[in-house]
């Protein structure tokens, strides 16, 4: 998100809400040297611990993602996606954070779950989906052009 804002010389992206599509930051706890150590996926841990992300409006908070459990089945992700979707309704969503396959899965979830996703509350999700698709296409074309040169 910060890289995008710097490249476009526009910090507006930092003033809106950012969809939190990260993995859980808590998976399990182990005992090491008499202390309990909790660990989880790096993307969730990053979202939880990075002070800069704490200042922007991640939706939902990483603690809410963690509260749904550490599973990574399709049903687990659908629960997370529904949480993200419900928390972002009628909010000024400007970006999504997470690993690319999860972001694309969320876009697919919104697209397939909602009957009319172009109506007002769903429109920001549609725009995110369209931007990601265009970005993928542009990246593929650039890569193809480099190979042809």
pLDDT computed for residue 31 by the predictor: 87
pLDDT computed for residue 142 by the predictor: 52
pLDDT computed for residue 149 by the predictor: 47
Phi, psi of 11 (to 5 degrees): -90, 5
Crossing angle of helices 74-88 and 123-148, in 10° steps, is: 120
**Is this model's pTM higher than 0.95 or not?**
no
Query: Domain containing 113: what range?
Result: 2-148
Distance CA 148, CA 90 (A): 45
Could you write out the three-class secondary structure of the chain?
Answer: CHHHHHHHCCHHHHCCEEEECCCCCCCEEEEECCEEEEECCHHHHHHHHCHHHHHCEEECCHHHHHHCCCCCCHHHHHHHHHHHHHHHCCCCEEEEECCHHHHHHHHHHHHHHCCCCCCHHHHHHHHHHHHHHHHHHHHHHHHHHHHHC
Q: How many domains does the chain have?
A: 1
pLDDT (tens digit, 0 to 9) for every residue of the chain, 149 residues total? 667 777 888 777 677 788 888 888 777 778 888 888 776 666 766 677 664 555 567 888 888 999 999 888 999 999 999 999 998 888 888 778 888 888 888 888 887 776 555 555 555 555 565 555 555 545 544 544 454 44
Q: What is the largest distance, in Å, between two alpha-carbon atoms of the chain? A: 59
pLDDT computed for residue 62 by the predictor: 86
């Amino acid at each position: 998100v910060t890289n995008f804002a710097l490249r476009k010389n526009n910090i507006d992206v930092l003033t809106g809400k950012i969809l939190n599509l990260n993995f859980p930051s808590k998976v399990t706890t182990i005992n090491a040297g008499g202390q309990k150590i909790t660990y989880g996926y790096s993307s969730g841990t990053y979202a939880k611990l990075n002070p800069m992300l704490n200042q922007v409006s991640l939706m939902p908070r990483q603690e809410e993602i963690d509260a749904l459990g550490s599973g990574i089945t399709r049903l687990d992700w659908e629960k997370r996606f529904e949480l993200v979707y419900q928390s972002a309704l009628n909010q000024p969503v400007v970006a999504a954070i997470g690993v690319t396959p999860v972001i694309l899965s969320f876009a697919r979830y919104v697209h397939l779950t909602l009957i009319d996703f172009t109506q007002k509350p769903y429109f920001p999700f549609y725009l995110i989906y369209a931007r990601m698709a265009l970005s993928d296409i542009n990246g593929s074309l650039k890569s193809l052009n480099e190979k042809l040169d």
